[in-house]
Structure formats: structure tokens, C-alpha cells
Amino acid sequence: MRSPIIAGALALFVLAGPVPAAAEPVVINTLAIPLNDEDEAQVTIGRLRYRGGMVLSSPEPRFGGFSALGISPDGGRMIALSDKGLRLRARLVYDRHGNLAGVRDGDLGSLSGLDGAPLSGKRNSDAESLTPGVEGEIIVAFEGRHRLWRYFPGNPAPEPLPPPLELRGAPTNGGIEALTMLDDGSLLALTEKYTAGAGTNVLGWISDETGWSVLTLAIEPEFWPTGAATLPDGDVVVSVRHFSLRGGAIIRLQRIAAADVRPGARLQAQALAEIRYPLNVDNFEGIEARRGAQGETLIYVISDDNYNPLQRTLMMMFEVVE
């Protein structure tokens, strides 16, 4: 196993890759939205302050389904990966207050398989999470056929990363949904519906030079992990989702202390905020974090609309209120 750890230094995540097959410019329409349509003065929820958001749409029928998100350290660029193995790359626009205000210069293309050809079929192309690697690559976790692939800049064909042994037993729709690289270069991977301990935990892993070690994340009933990102201070933010026909989507953003993430741990996440109606909310699955220009901690989320006309692609930015 090529170790995902390089002690002491992480490669700069420049969002140059992965290189998609036949990437083409894509029109992206944006519509600014408040946090709460019924009370536009509301800008805080829990320990988060709303810093701008929008509905994203496009006449391109392949647009949507975004389950993974990456943001460059300066906040100027983004990539998002979809359930159909597509990669969206674009530039982010901010207003004079530094709030998220728009998206421009987008292009869309297919991720490639080991042979360099575009991925096809739901089982092969369902990308669910991403994280930067230590050598400038992007590591992508797929569902359906559970696997981890590394995409290096300039090369469309990925390199397989040996997965945790236990991943072979994960449900088809319950593999690695949250993936992030920690400050020491190790990978934290959390599954969606691969439960342990009478369903009160989901299975996860942390990597080191020798491979993967098991850990678990404590969950509340029917709140499943959808994404993870490493905060500037080294802690981890996790998004968890509950959905019902009666209540719609409820998203909770939770924080895990860096010191708690170790082999064999039962991780306990602390609440940052809950996003639910009447707030603008959808199926947030992609999440990323960075340090802002004033030293603040910024969290970005993007929703997977499941290519459903009744859902939306929302992208929002929040500041952690310490």
C-alpha cells in the first residue's frame, strides 16, 4: 500500500485534477438565496453564521447530483463530483464583504476508469466523497462498487488505493460517504449505513503507514453521515442527514475533536448547527472547509438533487462562530 501519510507536510491542494474525459464549458445559472425565506434577517443558526448561498442550475441535463465538494485554499476554485461520475470545475465569486455570491467559468466532464475511458453505469460511477491527497492528487470514494481511487493532475486514469478490508461487506448504498485527510496526512473514512453496535454507530476507518484501522461514529437514529472535512484547527466537521416525507431533509453539521480520532475510537460529534425548514435546505452531501482571509473558519456545503425536479442544487457558505 502506498501510504496516504507523509508526516509533517501535506501537498498543496490546487484543484488541478482529476482530469475529466471530454470536459466542456457548461452554463451555470445562480440565484442568490437568504438563509431563511420567511425571515431574511436571520443569519445565524447554532454556532454558524450564514455567509452567502445560491441555487445552481444549468440547461445541461447532466448537471446535478453533486455528492462531493472540494474548495481551493484561497476559496477561488471549486470542484464537485456527481453520482454519475461527472466532475464540475468552476470559479467562485464573492461580494465586497467576502460572502459567497456566484459561480462562473464552469466546465463539466466524466471521470475516467482505470483504462482511461469515461465511467459508465450507476454501479461504476457513483462518486460519493473526495479529499486532497499528499502528492497533489484527489482521492475519490465510490459507492456501488466500493473503492478508493487516486486521480493525479494531468492523468485521466486513476490509481487504486487499497481499501479497508471490511469495506467489502458494506451495503451497496452504504459505503464510504465521508472522506477527509487529517492534518497528519492520515485519511478518515466514514460509511453511511454500515452499522455496528445495534445500529447506534456507523463503521469507519483511519489510515496509517500500515493500512487501515477500524473506528466508529456514534449516530442518532436515522441520521446518516453524508460528508466530512478537516477544519483549519485540525478538528473534523461531519454532515449527517435525516429525511422523511413528512419533515423533508434535516441536515446537522457536527464537530469531532482531532484528538479523539484514533484507531478503535467511538467518535462522539458535537453539534454546530441544524439546517431544516423553514431554512433553505436540501440534500447536502458535499462539504469542505478552509480558513478565510480574516482568519475565520469557513464551511461550504453543496446538495445532491438526485436529478429530481422537486429538489435543488444549493451551495452555501457558513462561518464558524467560536
**Across all residues in the chain, what is the average pLDDT?**
92
The full set of domain ranges for the chain reads 21-320
Residue 17 clears pLDDT 60, i.e. is over it: no
Strand partners, 70: 79
Residue 106 clears pLDDT 90, i.e. is over it: yes
d(CA 268, CA 171): 23
Residue with cell 467560536: 322
d(CA 201, CA 207): 19
Q: How far is CA 165 from CA 162, 211, 212, 213, 265, in A?
A: 9, 10, 8, 10, 18
Task: Write the pLDDT tens digit of every residue in 136-195.
Answer: 899 999 999 999 999 999 899 999 999 999 999 999 989 999 999 999 999 999 999 999
pTM for the model stands at: 0.94
Q: For residue 102, count CB atoms less than 10 angstroms from its CB and return exposed for 0-12, middle for 13-18, buried for 19 or more.
A: middle
Express as a percent the part of the chain with pLDDT over 70.
Answer: 93
Task: Write the pLDDT tens digit of every residue in 230-253.
Answer: 999 999 999 999 999 888 999 999
Q: Are 314 and 55 in contact (CB under 8 A)?
A: yes
User: pLDDT tier at 10 (50, 70, 90 boundaries)?
Assistant: very low
Q: Sheet harboring 86-94: ordered strands across?
A: 21-26, 100-110, 86-94, 77-82, 66-71
Task: Write the pLDDT tens digit of every residue in 47-57.
Answer: 999 999 999 99
Residue with cell 478538528: 235
Residue 11 clears pLDDT 50, i.e. is over it: no
Whether the upstream peptide bond of residue 61 has omega within 30° of 0, thus cis, is: no
DSSP of 286-304: EEEEEE-TTS-EEEEEEE-
What is the model's pLDDT at position 20?
A: 63
d(CA 261, CA 288): 18
Residue 290 clears pLDDT 70, i.e. is over it: yes
Task: Write the pLDDT tens digit of every residue in 176-193.
Answer: 999 999 999 999 999 999
Strand partners, 318: 50, 299
User: pLDDT tier at 199 (50, 70, 90 boundaries)?
Assistant: confident
Decide if domain 21-320 falls under CATH 2.120.10.
Answer: yes
Q: Are 251 and 281 in contact (CB under 8 A)?
A: yes
What is the model's pLDDT at position 246?
A: 85
